[in-house]
Amino acid sequence: MTTHLVVLPILVLLVAALILPLVREPRRASLIGVSALAAAFLLWLALAFLVMRQGAISYHLGGWPPPVGIEVIADKLAVFFGLTVFLVAIPTAVFAGVDMPAEAPEPALSSFWTLYLLLVLSLLGLAQAGDLFNMYVFLEISSLAACALVAVVNRPANVEAAFKYLLLSTVGSGCVLLAIALLYMITGQLNLAFLARELEHQAPLYPKNVIGAGTFLLVGLGVKAAIFPLHTWLPDAHASAPSPASALLSGLVVKVYVVVMVRIVWGTLGRAFFTLLPFKSVLLLLATISIFLASILAMAQTDLKRMLAYSTVAQMGYIFLGLAAGSRTAFAGAILHIFNHALLKGALFLAAGAVIWRTGRRRLAELVGVGHTCPLTLSFFAIAALGMVGIPGTSGFVSKWFLLVGMLQQSSPLLAWVVLISSLLNAAYYFPVIILGFFGHGTDNELRFHLDRIPPELLLPAGSLALVSLFFGLWPSFPLHLAQDIAHDFFL
């Protein structure tokens, strides 16, 4: 009975997602959405507790054991990412309950919740998938749901961004499917564990298939995780989406593909693969360019949400940099950064969304002096922004610290400089927003200081994400130990 716990959270979300289109009333739809998420979270907590106590659990769908049956895995990586998903998705859902009626037309609201739950369940499914084809199906669910969330608001910019996103992510899925075909051809397996075992014998015989599969995986997952030069869709999609959707897309969706990459490349293809292909060197190079290019482009933005979107591209660069740096400490730092960046970017997008809800402004020039009318919201924004820069005491500091230590241990100071110098660039575009927001004088002479006139349903989610991230910056042991365990399991 207890093993069914592995798939129950996904099932709860799936059932709720399928019921929601029948619900016409927006308030009831958001209530069902939030309570389904809460129920799934409780089940996930129980699962996490079980996995922490007795190790990874393998669930066989329909009772058929692999390689014939489908395997669902609940290991530390899945549990870690799932907790991240719920920590971001639940506050965002509360936020969406108030914010979405202001952004989207009423008939679109219940389908918004269907898409929201489908997206969350696809993220959980991707983190837990134990075979390649299951991964592919969840990959497609996640990209369809993500695109549709961008286009929930039927404005020209949204529809265009969603189309671009859909086209590119379909190319990405096609590449992943081709990689799966190439691996299936030589091994005859789709289950990850069996594939890994078979590949040890087959990889020396068919090196070209393995090289081809690795390249297509890098391109396919690279498009979806927005690594340079495949990031062009992200700023449009994440900036134009409604704020809660942006928080989900930027905080969680791009990162699930990193989890998938860790599971396939590090967990399955393994050592033989890294000797055949300069995978890590390519990843290092692309990540470095991503970090610098996106940080510089972020400085040039005039729109708040677009700036945050470019910052996501840069932060994804840190994660790839840590994975490919070749040090176990940096690998743990990268895994930890998945968690930290998810919370921070979620807080930033929700705070930005609350400011936009209150003032209707999103251009940076118009947000000067916004700290006088939204002091609490801007404070939450500031906490998260400091975390992005990596100021000591915030959670961003901890993961960047581990990246740095790992790179220095690996005696590659050049990579350490990349992290340090780009942190300066991060400060260069986050600090002006905060300083001008609190101390600048706006154009409309509304200088009288008053507390935010923002409903608590908008304020609390942004605040809770910022404060939770601050908590894990001061006491990082729980996510850190999990990340180190994951690095121990997967690092090569």
Which residues contact other proteins (rule: CB under 8 A)? 133, 136-137, 140, 144, 147-148, 151, 154-157, 159-160, 162-163, 166-167, 170-171, 173-174, 177-178, 181, 184-185, 190
Of 140 and 489, the one with the shorter C-beta distance to other proteins is 140
CA 77 to chain centroid, in Å, comes to 14
Q: What is the DSSP string of 30-97?
A: HHHHHHHHHHHHHHHHHHHHHHHHH--EEEEGGGPPTTTS-EEEE-HHHHHHHHHHHHHHHHHHHHHH
Of 122 and 379, the one with the shorter C-beta distance to other proteins is 122
Name the DSSP class of 229: T
Of 151 and 199, the one with the shorter C-beta distance to other proteins is 151
Of 166 and 256, the one with the shorter C-beta distance to other proteins is 166
CA 101 to chain centroid, in Å, comes to 25
**Least distance from other proteins to the Cβ atom of residue 347, Å:** 27
**Least distance from other proteins to the Cβ atom of residue 472, Å:** 37
**Least distance from other proteins to the Cβ atom of residue 180, Å:** 8
The position carrying tokens 């108030």 is 98
**Least distance from other proteins to the Cβ atom of residue 379, Å:** 30
Of 147 and 459, the one with the shorter C-beta distance to other proteins is 147
**Least distance from other proteins to the Cβ atom of residue 490, Å:** 26
How many DSSP H helices and E strands does the chain contain?
20, 2
Per the structure block, which two tokens stand in for 399? 């993961």
**CA 26/CA 222 separation, integer angstroms:** 36
Of 19 and 159, the one with the shorter C-beta distance to other proteins is 159
74 phi, psi to nearest 5 deg:
-115, 95
**Least distance from other proteins to the Cβ atom of residue 181, Å:** 5
CB atoms within 10 A of CB 94: 21
**Least distance from other proteins to the Cβ atom of residue 443, Å:** 20
**CA 318/CA 316 separation, integer angstroms:** 5
Of 215 and 409, the one with the shorter C-beta distance to other proteins is 215
